[in-house]
A and B are shown apart, each in its own frame.
Chain A
Amino acid sequence: MISLNYRDSRPIYEQIKDGLRKLIVTGALGPDEKLPSVRALAAQLAINPNTIQRAYNELEGEGYIYSVPGKGSFAAGNTGADAQRRTELLAQVRELAAELHYLGVSRQELETLIKEAYES
Chain B
Amino acid sequence: MIEVKNVVKRFDGFTALDGASLSVPTGSVYGLVGPNGAGKSTIIRHLTGIYRQDEGSVAIGGEDVWENAGLKARVAAIPDDWYYFLQSTVRDMMRFYKGFYPQFSMERYEKLKEVFSIDEKRVIRRLSKGMQKQVAFWLALSCMPDYLILDEPVDGLDPVMRRQVWSLVMGDVAERGTTVLVSSHNLRELEDVCDHVGIMDKGKVLLERSLAQLQDNMVKMQVVFRDGQEVPADLPVLHVSRVGRIHTLIMRMNAQEAAARLAVYDPMLVDAVPLTLEEIFIYELGGADYAVKDIVL
Residue positions of A touching B, CB distance < 8 A: 6, 9-12, 14, 38-39, 42-51, 54
Query: Which of chain B's residues 177-212 have a Cβ closer than 8 Å to chain A?
Result: 188, 191-195, 211-212
Residues of B156-181 contacting chain A, CB below 8 A: 162-164, 166-168, 170-171, 173-175
Q: Is B215 an interface residue (CB 8 A)?
A: yes
Compute how far the CA of A54 lies from the CA of B212 in the bound complex, rounded to whole angstroms: 10
A48 touches B274 (CB 8 A): no
Given the complex, which residues of B lie within 8 Å of A11, measured CB to CB? 215, 274
Q: How far is the CA of A46 from the CA of B168 in the complex (A)?
A: 8
Residue of A whose beta carbon sits closest to that of B172: A43
User: Contacts A9-B273, A38-B174 known; A48 to B193 CB distance under 8 Å?
Assistant: yes
Q: Other than the known A47-B166, A50-B195, A51-B195, what 14 A-B pairs have Cβ atoms closer than 8 Å? A: A9-B273, A9-B274, A10-B274, A11-B215, A39-B175, A42-B171, A43-B170, A43-B174, A46-B163, A47-B193, A48-B170, A48-B195, A49-B174, A51-B211
Say which residue of B27, B192, B194, B215 sits within 8 Å of A46 (CB atoms).
B192
The docked-state distance in angstroms from the alpha carbon of A47 to that of B167 is 7
Taking a contact as CB atoms under 8 Å apart, the answer to whether A46 and B170 are in contact is yes
User: Which residues of B (22-48) have their CB < 8 Å from a CB of A?
Assistant: 27-29
Residues of B within 8 A of A10 (CB): 274
Q: Judge whether A9 and B28 touch: CB under 8 Å.
A: no
How many whole Å from B98's CB to the nearest CB in chain A?
25
Place the interface of chain B in its size category: 20 to 34
- Across-interface contacts of B215 in A (CB, < 8 A): 11
For residue B156, give the distance in angstroms from its CB to the closest CB of chain A.
Answer: 17
Establish whether residues B174 and A44, one from each chain, have CB atoms under 8 Å apart when the complex forms.
no
Contact B194 A9 (CB under 8 A): no
- Interface residue B57 (Cβ < 8 Å from any Cβ of A): no
Contact A48 B29 (CB under 8 A): yes
Q: Which residues of A contact B163 (CB under 8 A)?
A: 46
Does any Cβ of A come within 8 Å of B276's Cβ? Answer: yes
Instruction: Please determine whether B166 and A46 come into contact, CB atoms closer than 8 angstroms.
Output: yes
Task: State whether A43 touches B167 (Cβ < 8 A).
Answer: yes
Interface of A is mostly: helix
Instruction: Tell me the complex Cα distance, A105–B175, Å.
Output: 52
Complex Cα gap A45–B28 (Å): 17
State A44–B168 Cα separation when bound (angstroms).
9
Are B192 and A49 interface neighbours, CB within 8 A? no
CB distance from B270 to the nearest CB of A (A): 11
Instruction: Looking at the assembled complex, report how far the CB atom of B67 sits from the nearest CB atom of chain A, in whole angstroms.
Output: 33
- In the complex, 17 of the A-B residue pairs with CB atoms within 8 angstroms, ordered by the A residue number, are A9-B274, A11-B215, A39-B174, A42-B171, A42-B173, A43-B170, A43-B171, A43-B174, A46-B162, A46-B163, A46-B192, A47-B193, A48-B29, A48-B193, A49-B170, A51-B192, A51-B195
Determine whether the beta carbon of A48 is less than 8 Å from that of B273: no
Min Cβ gap A8→B in Å is 10
**B211 contacts which chain A residues (CB < 8 A)?**
51
Chain B residues in 8 Å Cβ range of A46: 162-164, 166-167, 170, 192-193
Return the chain B residue nearest A10 by Cβ.
B274
Measured in the bound complex, the distance between the Cα atoms of B192 and A79 in whole Å is: 32
Shortest CB–CB separation between residue A67 and chain B, in angstroms? 15
The reply to whether B166 and A49 form a contact with Cβ atoms under 8 Å apart is no
Minimum CB distance partner of A37 in chain B: B174
**A12: min CB distance to chain B, Å:** 6
Among A44, A45, A48, which residue has its beta carbon within 8 angstroms of that of B173? A48
A3 to B175, CA, bound (A): 22
Whether A6 lies near B274 (C-beta < 8 A) is: no
Q: Say whether A12 contacts B174, CB under 8 Å.
A: no
User: A-B pairs with the 10 shortest C-beta distances?
Assistant: A39-B174, A49-B174, A43-B171, A46-B166, A42-B170, A46-B167, A50-B195, A47-B192, A42-B174, A46-B163
Bound: A9/B212 CA distance, A: 15
B195 touching A43 by the CB < 8 A rule? no
